[in-house]
Structure 1
Amino acid sequence: MGRRSRTPTRKNYIEMSSYQKDPALSAHSKRVNYIAMGCLIFLGPIIVVCLWHTIVNLDGSALNMWKYWKTYNFEGVRKIWPMPSFYACKLIVFFAVFEALLQVYVPGERHIGIVSPTGNRPMYKKNGFTCCVITIFVYYFAYKEKHFNPAGVYDHLGEIYSALIVISMIVCCLVYLKGHTYPSSTDWGSCGNPLIDFYWGMELYPRIGRDFDLKLYFISRFGMMSWACLVISFVIKQWEQKGKVADSMFVSSVLQLAYIFKFFWWEGGYLNTLSMMHDRAGFYTIWGAMVWLPAVYSSPVLYLVQHPVQLGRWVSIYVFFAGLLCIYTQYSIDWQRQEFRETHAKARVWGINPVKIQAHYVTEKGEHKQTLLLASGWWGLARHVHYIFEIGSCFFWSIPALFTHTSPYFFLLFLTFFLVDRVERDDRRCKAKYMKFWDIYRKKVPNKIIPLIY
Structure 2
Amino acid sequence: MAKSMKKSESNPEMVHSPLVTYASMISLLSLCPPFVIILFGIFNPSIVYDHLGEIFSALIFGSLVFCVFLYIKGHLAPSSSDSGSTGNFIIDFYWGMELYPRIGKHFDIKVFTNCRFGMMAWAVLTVTYCIKQYEANGKVSDSMLVNTILTLVYVTKFFWWEAGYWNTMDIAHDRAGFYICWGCLVWVPSVYTSPGMYLVNHPVHLGTGLALSILLAGILCIYINYDCDRQRQEFRRTNGKCTVWGRAPSKIDASYTTTSGETKRSLLLTSGWWGLARHFHYVPEILAAFFWTVPALFNHFFPYFYVIFLTILLFDRAKRDDDRCRSKYGKYWKLYCDKVPYRVIPGIY
> Which of the two has higher C-alpha Rg?
1
Count how many residue pairs are aligned between Structure 1 and Structure 2: 343
1:121 CA drift (Å): 5.0
Structure 1 residue 429, shift from structure 2 partner: 0.8
Give the distance between the partners of 1:184 and 1:374, measured in 2 at CA: 33
Query: Could you tell me how far 1:273 is from its partner in structure 2?
Result: 1.3
1:300 and 1:121 map into 2 onto residues whose CA distance is: 34
CA–CA separation in structure 1 for the residues paired with 2:10 and 2:36: 47
SS in 2 for 1:125: coil
Question: Is the 1:358–1:370 Cα contact (8 Å) retained in structure 2?
Answer: yes
Partner of 1:111, secondary structure, is: coil
Q: Is the 8 A contact 1:111 1:125 kept in 2?
A: yes
User: Which residue is equivalent to 2:72?
Assistant: 177
Could you tell me whether the CA contact under 8 Å between 1:378 and 1:385 is conserved in 2?
Answer: yes
Alignment of 1:65-104 (within 5 A): none
Question: Contact (CA 8 Å) 1:109, 1:125: kept in 2 or not?
Answer: no
For 2:29, the equivalent position in structure 1 comes to 139
Displacement after TM superposition at 1:372 (Å): 1.0
Residue type of the alignment partner of 2:52: L
CA distance in 2, matches of 1:446, 1:173: 41
Per-residue CA deviations over 1:96-140 (Å, capped at 9, x if unaligned) read xxxxxxxxxxxx944133x7xxx9555333522122113223434
Aligned-residue sequence identity (percent) comes to: 53
Matched, 1:412 2:318: no
1:347 paired with 2:242, answer yes
Q: Is the 8 A contact 2:12 2:108 kept in 1?
A: no
Equivalent residues in 2 for 1:105-116, closer than 5 Å: 109-113=3-7
**Given the two structures, how large is their TM-score scaled by the length of structure 1?**
0.73
Q: From the superposition, tell whether residues 109 and 331 of structure 1 become closer, same or farther in structure 2 (CA, over 3 Å).
A: closer
Alpha-carbon separation, structure 1, partners of 2:85 and 2:21? 34
Q: 2:228 aligns with which of 316, 330, 333?
A: 333
Shift of 1:236: 0.3
Matched residues in 1 for 2:18 and 2:327: separation?
Answer: 32
**Structure with greater contact order relative to length (CA < 8 Å, sep ≥ 6):** 1
Q: Supply the AA of the counterpart residue of 1:247.
A: D
Corresponding residue for 2:49? 154
Mark the CA change 1:153 to 1:416 in structure 2 (over 3 Å): closer, same or farther.
same
What is the root-mean-square deviation in Å for CA atoms of aligned residues? Answer: 1.5
Alpha-carbon spacing, 1:365–1:428, altered in 2? closer, same or farther (3 Å):
same
Q: Equivalent residue for 1:257?
A: 152
Read off the aligned partner of 1:305 and give its amino acid letter: V
Residue range with higher mean Cα deviation, 131-140 or 365-374 = 131-140
In structure 1, give the amino acid aligned to 2:36: E
Deviation at 1:296, TM superposition (A): 0.4
CA contact (8 A) 1:354 1:374 kept: yes
State the Cα distance separating 1:176 from its structure 2 match.
1.1
- In 1, distance between residues paired with 2:57 and 2:168? 31
Q: Secondary structure in 1 aligned to 2:278?
A: coil
After superposition, where does 1:213-362 map in structure 2 within 5 Å? 213-362=108-257
Shift of 1:434: 1.4
Report the residue type matching 1:443 in the other structure. D
Q: What is the DSSP-based 3-state SS (H/G/I as helix, E as strand, rest coil) of the residue aligned with 2:240?
A: coil
- Of the three residues 308, 312, 324, the one matched with 1:429 is 324
Residue in 1 that maps onto 2:18: 128
- Does the CA-based 8 Å contact 2:4-2:162 persist in structure 1? no
Contact 1:126–1:268 at 8 Å: present in 2 too? no
Q: Which residue of 1 aligns with 2:60?
A: 165
Of the three residues 332, 345, 348, the one matched with 1:450 is 345
Residues 128 and 220 in structure 1, CA contact (< 8 A), matched pair in contact too:
no
Q: Which runs of 5+ in 2 are unaligned?
A: none
Deviations 1:298-344 (A, max 9, x none): 10000000000000000001000000000001001110000101111
Q: How far is the alpha carbon of 1:452 from its aligned partner?
A: 1.5
- Contact 2:70–2:176 (8 Å) recurs in 1: yes
Q: What is residue 77 of structure 1 aligned with on the other side?
A: none
Normalised by the length of structure 2, the TM-score is 0.95
Match of 1:195 in 2: 90
TM-aligned CA deviation for residue 148 of structure 1: 2.8
